[in-house]
Amino acid sequence: MSQTDAVAPADSTGAAPAEASATPRAVVTGNRRRIILLAATTALAAIVAIVSIAVGAYVIPVPDVLAVLAAKTGLTDDADNLHTAVVWDLRLTRVLLAGAVGAALATSGTAYQGTFRNPLVEPFILGVSAGAAFGAGLAVMVDVPLSLQVMAFLFGMVAVWLTYTLSRVRGERPTVTLILAGIVVGSFFSAVFSLFQYAGTDEQLRRLVFWIMGGFYRATWDDVAIVVPATIVGCLLLFRYGWRLNILSLGDDEARSLGVDPEPLRRRIIVLATALTALAVSVSGIIAWVGLLVPHAARLLVGPDHRFLLPLSATMGAVFVMACDNLARTIHTGEVPIGIITSVIGAPYLIYLLRSRATRLGAAS
């Protein structure tokens, strides 16, 4: 029995066949298409912003809106327009804030999803929203020298710092323990927030509930002056990590073998994304769905390359929240909390995406 039953390649001891080389194929990168898309959504954001200023309790014609904006920014002489106060002090502040919050939530959502290699992650996963709610609740319940916004921001950051510290296991921070720690920290702060609601007076309870449902009704130029520049800086800093975030989304060992040290990179991205989220939450309350839904919608349009995905998330997030805020202040005579609008629109849209475009979202076909 010298011939065995193994199916071995006939030349397993011989030389390998030479590979025939074909002519190089023309490279189509698609980067131009992606840049056009970015420019288009930026233009769309500007258009939605102007339309948002026009609509409201009563409609201001778009030419009047433009006239006021031009006069106020010094492009034309101050033609005393009777809409100036409404356009400039009420609606523009609100629209700018809504756009900034939308951009911040969507960008940080995309960054979190990439860092945690999980498309179901949202920016509140590490407890920032629960921490911020606790901070805001504390400001409502007891006399603190800091404003509600500052308290919300600080405790949002504190919650994520706690999560990050608790998740350390034998010198490493596995994603699972990080997310579990986030759930633990989040539920602790949520429990205390519930206690506030239970113990508060009727007036305190009303403020707590309205804060947690989110809204831009109290937007002022003071808020805008802080939130808009900070959001722009934060987003630009995150955009810088676009390519390395692609590498990080492959997992730690692969990132390392491609020359990217995952731990410090992840820490920097989490700090930036958390600061952006806490900033947004501190001025607008908790607006659900934006940070989960917009990254998915953006990924469908440009694919998962974070160099393009992060900026597109920012512009689409701004458009989405501005549009939802328009509904929030126009579908009813009073004010509907925007968190309700984003959920009502967001949930069916995500279901539609999942059912029709599952492969592009990452499901194997």
- Please tell me whether residue 234 binds other proteins under the rule CB under 8 A: no
Residues 63-82 that bind other proteins (CB under 8 A): none
The DSSP annotation for 79-98 comes to ---TTHIIIIIIIHHHHHHH
Minimum distance, C-beta of residue 109 to other proteins, in the bound complex (Å)? 14
b/e map 120-157, b = 16+ CB within 10 Å? ebbbbbbbbbbbbbbbbbbbbbeeeeeebbbbbbbbbb
| Dist CA 286 CA 173 (whole Å) | 27
Q: Are 201 and 70 in contact (CB under 8 A)?
A: no
Query: Which member of 39, 57, 89, 117 binds other proteins (CB under 8 A)?
Result: 117
Each residue 261-290 as x (binds other proteins by CB under 8 A) or -, in order, gives x-----------------------------
Closest CA to 291 of 343, 357, 219, 232: 343
Closest CA to 344 of 267, 288, 276: 288
Q: Which CB, 291 or 339, lies closer to other proteins?
A: 291
Minimum distance, C-beta of residue 29 to other proteins, in the bound complex (Å)? 6
Q: Which CB, 92 or 125, lies closer to other proteins?
A: 125
| Dist CA 117 CA 217 (whole Å) | 36
Q: Could you tell me the sign of the dihedral formed by the alpha carbons of 318, 319, 324, 330, in that order? A: positive
Q: Which CB, 28 or 142, lies closer to other proteins?
A: 28
Minimum distance, C-beta of residue 183 to other proteins, in the bound complex (Å)? 20
- Please tell me whether residue 259 binds other proteins under the rule CB under 8 A: yes
Q: Which CB, 149 or 246, lies closer to other proteins?
A: 246
Which residue in the block uniquely carries the two structure tokens 């076909």? 365
Which ranges of the chain does DSSP label H, i.e. alpha helix?
31-54, 62-72, 84, 92-115, 128-141, 148-166, 175-199, 202-213, 221-239, 242-248, 252-257, 262-284, 290-302, 306-330, 338-356, 358-361
Minimum distance, C-beta of residue 253 to other proteins, in the bound complex (Å)? 6
Q: Which CB, 151 or 297, lies closer to other proteins?
A: 297
Task: State the helix-helix crossing angle for 128-141 and 148-166, rounded to 10 degrees.
Answer: 140
Residues 299-318 that bind other proteins (CB under 8 A): 299, 303-305, 307
Q: Are 192 and 137 in contact (CB under 8 A)?
A: yes
Q: Which CB, 220 or 257, lies closer to other proteins?
A: 257
- Please tell me whether residue 61 binds other proteins under the rule CB under 8 A: no
Minimum distance, C-beta of residue 100 to other proteins, in the bound complex (Å)? 23
- Of the chain, the end-to-end C-alpha distance in Å amounts to 47
Candidate segments 113-121, 129-137, 141-149, 275-283, binder of other proteins by CB under 8 A: 113-121
Minimum distance, C-beta of residue 329 to other proteins, in the bound complex (Å)? 36
- Please tell me whether residue 258 binds other proteins under the rule CB under 8 A: yes
Query: Which member of 43, 240, 267, 354 binds other proteins (CB under 8 A)?
Result: 240
Minimum distance, C-beta of residue 174 to other proteins, in the bound complex (Å)? 14
Each residue 4-43 as x (binds other proteins by CB under 8 A) or -, in order, gives xxxxxx--xx--xx-x-xx-xx-xxx--------------
The CA-atom distances, in angstroms, between 228 and each of 222, 223, 316 are 10, 8, 16
| Dist CA 88 CA 42 (whole Å) | 21
Minimum distance, C-beta of residue 365 to other proteins, in the bound complex (Å)? 5
- Please tell me whether residue 257 binds other proteins under the rule CB under 8 A: yes
Where on the chain is the footprint of other proteins (CB under 8 A)? 1-9, 12-13, 16-17, 19, 21-22, 24-25, 27-29, 114, 117-119, 240, 242-244, 246-247, 249-250, 253-254, 256-261, 299, 303-305, 307, 359-362, 364-365
